[in-house]
Copies of this chain bind each other. A is one copy, B any other.
Amino acid sequence: MRIKDELKQDAIIQATVKLVNEIGFVSSSVAKIAREANVSPATIYIYYKNKEDLLVSTYVDIKQKLSEALLKNFDESKPFRDILKTVWLNGFEYVAKNIKHYQYAEQFSNSPYSDLVDHVKVEKHFEPMLKVLQKGIDQKVIKNVPHEMLAAFIFYPMMILSNPKLCKTLELSNENIEQAFTLAWDAIKF
């Protein structure tokens, strides 16, 4: 029996991310993705049920890796502020190194394709972080406000600042990243 070529599947994913970034979902046909990945259009249907499945799977894949990256060196025993800062720096590092994947995810999550994703499952990897936030609230280290509100002032500004499409002129020097963290911390601290 012949086995699936792992390189081939990876090539399909990379081609999908590249094309969707450059020409959008509208123009990224199965034929073009296949050509970019150097496979036959029919090959894509061996790995994925249909085009929609390809796009959704690619998104879930990226989100999973983003979650893992954010929680790198996660150590619940450290001081609360340090935990948050580690996540903060991890975020900038991930986006800087995986800008195409990040932008694919942003485009995807703002499109109706997003409705096809099981968000509960995707966000499950982020639970340790939510637990820590709650601990910070209980210990009166950070403000007692809903988690969404905290996220809106920690994780989203991070994502926006590291998105070169939105922040064209802002240089992401260590100094600027530190400074931005000060703002985030001032927002949520008790």
0/1 interface trace, chain A 60-72, chain B, CB 8 Å (1 if under):
0000000000000
A46 within 8 A of B: no
Contact of A152 among B114, B160, B169, B182 (CB under 8 A): B160
Interface of A is mostly: helix
Q: Count the copies.
A: 2
Chain B residues with Cβ under 8 A from A170's Cβ?
146, 148-149
A53 to chain B, nearest CB (A): 15
Chain B residues with Cβ under 8 A from A169's Cβ?
146, 148
B145 touching A179 by the CB < 8 A rule?
Answer: yes
Chain B residues with Cβ under 8 A from A167's Cβ?
148, 152
> Total interface residues on A, using CB and 8 Å?
40
Contact of A180 among B25, B26, B149 (CB under 8 A): B149
A157 within 8 A of B: yes
User: What are 19 of the A-B contact pairs (CB < 8 Å)?
Assistant: A21-B112, A23-B112, A24-B25, A24-B111, A25-B111, A106-B110, A145-B183, A146-B170, A148-B170, A149-B161, A149-B176, A149-B180, A152-B180, A153-B153, A153-B183, A156-B156, A156-B157, A157-B157, A187-B187
A-B interface, 5 closest residue pairs, ranked by CB to CB distance from nearest = A187-B187, A152-B157, A24-B112, A110-B110, A183-B187
